[in-house]
Structure 1
Amino acid sequence: MSERNGPVRVVAAGDHFVLPGLIARAVGHELGEGPVDVREVTLGWPLEPFGPVAEVQEASDAEDEMIEALADGREVLVTQMGPVTERVLAACPDLRLVVVCRGGPVNVNLDAAKAHDVRVCFAPGRNAAATAEFTVGLLLAALRRIPQAHDLLTRQGSWEGAAYYTYEHSGLELEDLPVGLIGYGAVGSRVARALCAFGAQVMVYDPYARGEIHGLRVTSLDELLSRSRVVTLHARLTSETRGLLGARELGLLPRGAVVVNAARGPLLDQGALCDALESGQVSAAALDTYEYEPLPADSRLRALAERVVLTPHLGGASRAVAEKAAVIAAAEVGRWVRGEPLAHCLT
């Protein structure tokens, strides 16, 4: 694609987080003086939930909007939640490059993209720092009962949160605390560094991690769980890791342990976690992701408010993440236009 007869025709299908204007500016900066025609489209997420659309997962229900936006010879689509289905691809024969502003193109039918000769790229690492920081925040909130004390004081006008200063109800501190990390990728490694700075006894289980790590490498999940007062999840969701922590695994934790998950909801058996919370096997949990999202109104977790910290999948919600995603995506567009190898390409 190094020689062109006209401007690069791009659709910046952003949303209310990765704004289309951020994408357009990043593409313009990347291409410099080169002619570019960017059409901006705003999808509804996160004000409207994502979900399965046709044969793809985690996308905005906007096939018609994508087809309309990609009309008149648009070659490039940069998006976070736009559904790139067989229907969309078949209706847009000029499309040649899709760049997804996420850690994986779960909104793209990769087989169909390959069949239609469309390259698909993604934006790894754009939210690693934000998610790691959020994870540490969840951990501190759960250990010290910060949300519960805040709720008592501000919503109920009660000083009863002072009971958390009694020995029986006071929380744990990170210094010298055995903390087990399951997964040591871009997020897990950052969490490990932060917890080491607090003085925690960090242990890591990740059979795929190579090289030096911050903390003690543990060779089995069972050993990690039996030694950890806190366990935090950072693994990828695969067929092997789905339900990684269930009733048996939670039972291996020291009684009164704390569980944190800001990775993927299905890594953790929520029913087993609720059982463990109710029995006292787990004293507290902090969750940002769930088996089903949005969290159902009848979820057992809602009835355990005194023991849980629940947030609506906000780990990657920082302005820097949106800006990084746009820049990473624009860099792929630049490589494609210049005929260079794509850095993060799956088709």
Structure 2
Amino acid sequence: MRVVAAGDNFVRPDLLESALRSELAAPEISTLTLPWPVEPFGPVGGVEEASGTEDQVIEAVAGAEVCVTQMAPFTERVFAAAPSLRLVAVARGGPVNVDLAAATEAGVTVTYAPGRNAAAAAEYAVGMILAAMRRIPDSDAELKRGRWRGDFYAYSEAGVELEGTTVGLVGYGAIGSRVARVLRAFGARVLASDPHTDEEKLRADGVEPLPLEEMLPRCSVVSLHARLTPETRHLLDADRLALLPEGAVLVNTARGGLLDHRPLPELLRSGRLGALALDVYDEEPPPPGWSLHGAPNLVTTPHLAGATRQTAHRAAEIVAAEVGRYARGERVAHPANPEVLESTA
């Protein structure tokens, strides 16, 4: 079996190759290194969040039966040029870099790696909540400039605690549920809005389920953990942002498109939003003249929530295990297009 390990500078080809060799007997493995994250991902040939070019992938997968990757663009053109391909295993929480319709038409099974960065992203989200509530980045930056800001201890400037605070989670999957556990350990009251999660599960976790419009007015902090779909794009638009109490803290470590960025500068400058923490953006990286540059009480990081070494190893292990199942004639655990499996059963 010929396998291509199309890694990048995070889920590296050597990590993929090592994981594959632990699953397969004497595989023929070739590697490709894509430029992400040194170069930002973006749309390629009709798929989103991809790195590299269609031509690179076509050349790399020629004659291959399997490809494991995190960011390679698998487009209609790539599938048309790779008739021997039967499995693409994507080392991320969703195969957004794959044209699933084209894969299905070509008879190629696509799998992915759910939960690979859940622990990392949950920890990061809690860190962003704390950073925004306690003004940690502001005080750090001021001290590094040589300014001892004793006024940050003044009542009007002081932060607020998580203990006793009501936090709303938009989305309650692998990441949101972990965030809830940590927040409850801090003594926060946790609400959640997720139409795809059973309300009894939420209550069993000590979390109160509510529709989004009912949840937002009750929250001092809101953290986004939903998937980005056509239905959830701009889920928090101007009307829903207006439901937040004055001075609320908003955190987005999920996907930039969940949040309508246009109202945010004025909401921060007016104090309607007490603080905003962003790890993801409507355009990545933010362009010159970005509307939020210079806005007060803003915490920003460059899409790092899932960036831990454990995530990279876990992602490689999950996709390699899928290749092992395929090689043994077993059903893969995480198919994105299960209809291919049914048609070949």
TM-score tier after normalising by the smaller chain length: over 0.9
Q: Which amino acid aligns with 1:310?
A: T
Deviations 1:203-260 (A, max 9, x none): 1122221233233423321221111111111111122221111222222111111000
Amino acid across the alignment from 1:259: L
Does structure 1 conserve the Cα–Cα contact (< 8 Å) formed by 2:180 and 2:207?
Answer: no
Matched residue of 1:52: which SS? strand
The answer as to 2:82 corresponding to 1:92 is yes
Q: Does 1:239 align with 2:230?
A: yes
Map residues 28-107 of structure 1 onto 2, 5 A cutoff: 28-31=21-24, 34-71=25-62, 73-107=63-97
Aligned counterparts, 1:97-176, within 5 A: 97-154=87-144, 156-160=145-149, 162-176=150-164
Instruction: Answer yes or no: is the 8 Å Cα contact 1:104–1:124 preserved in 2.
Output: yes
User: For structure 1, which runs of at least 5 residues remain unmatched after alignment?
Assistant: 1-7
Q: Aligned equivalents of 1:283 and 1:269: distance in 2?
A: 17
Work out the CA distance in 2 between the residues paired with 1:107 and 1:204: 29
Residue aligning to 2:342 = none
8 Å contact from structure 1 (residues 204, 215) kept in 2? no
Q: Distance in 2 between matches of 1:198 and 1:320?
A: 25
Q: 2:194 aligns with which of 180, 202, 206?
A: 206
Would you identify which runs of 4 or more consecutive aligned residues in structure 1 move more than 3 Å? Answer: none
Q: Is the 8 A contact 2:10 2:36 kept in 1?
A: yes
- Aligned twin of 1:26: 19
Residues 290 and 233 of structure 1, relative CA distance in 2, 3 Å threshold: same
- Residue range with higher mean Cα deviation, 52-61 or 183-192: 52-61
Q: Quick one: which amino acid aligns to residue 155 of structure 2?
A: Y
Counterparts of 1:35 and 1:324, CA distance in 2: 22
Residue of structure 1 equivalent to 2:270? 279
Aligned length in residues: 334
Cα deviation for residue 202 of structure 1 reads 1.1
| AA aligned opposite 1:69 | A
- Cα-Cα RMSD: 1.2
- Deviations along 1:249-306, one digit per CA (max 9) or x if unpaired, are 22211111100010111111111122211211101010111111111121121211x3
- SS across alignment from 1:286: strand
1:189 aligns with 2:177: yes
1:58 is matched by which residue type in structure 2? E
The one-letter code of the counterpart of 2:283 is: Y
> Per-residue CA shift, 1:94-141, capped at 9, x if unaligned?
111101111111111111112221111111110111000000000000
Work out the CA distance in 2 between the residues paired with 1:204 and 1:55: 34
Q: Separation in 1 of the partners of 2:147 and 2:163?
A: 30
Distance 1:88 1:113 in 2: 9
Task: State the one-letter code of the partner of 1:178.
Answer: T
Moved more, 230-239 or 133-142: 230-239
Aligned-partner Cα distance in 1 for 2:106–2:171: 36
Aligned to 2:240: 249
Distance 2:331 2:113 in 1: 15
The 2-side partners of 1:36 and 1:216 are apart by: 47
**What CA distance in whole angstroms lies between the structure 1 residues aligned with 2:107 and 2:232?**
32
CA distance in 1, matches of 2:240, 2:107: 45
The aligned counterpart of 2:211 is: 220
1:11 to 4, 13, 16: 4
Q: How far 1:338 moved relative to its partner?
A: 0.5
8 Å CA contact 1:27–1:333 kept in 2: the answer is: yes
Q: Does the Cα contact within 8 Å between 1:246 and 1:273 map onto a contact in 2?
A: no
Amino acid aligned to 2:93 = G
C-alpha deviation, 1:149, in angstroms: 0.7
- Percent of aligned pairs with the same amino acid: 55
The DSSP-based 3-state class of the residue aligned with 1:169 is: coil
SS of match in other structure, 1:302: coil
Q: Which residue in 1 is equivalent to 2:343?
A: none
Tell me, yes or no, if the aligned pair for 1:203 and 1:217 is still in contact at 8 Å.
yes
CA distance in 2, matches of 1:183, 1:321: 21
Please state whether the residue corresponding to 1:10 is helix, strand or coil: strand
Q: TM-score, normalised by structure 1?
A: 0.94
Q: In 2, Cα distance between the equivalents of 1:222 and 1:115?
A: 40
Structure 2 CA distance, aligned partners of 1:215 and 1:282?
27
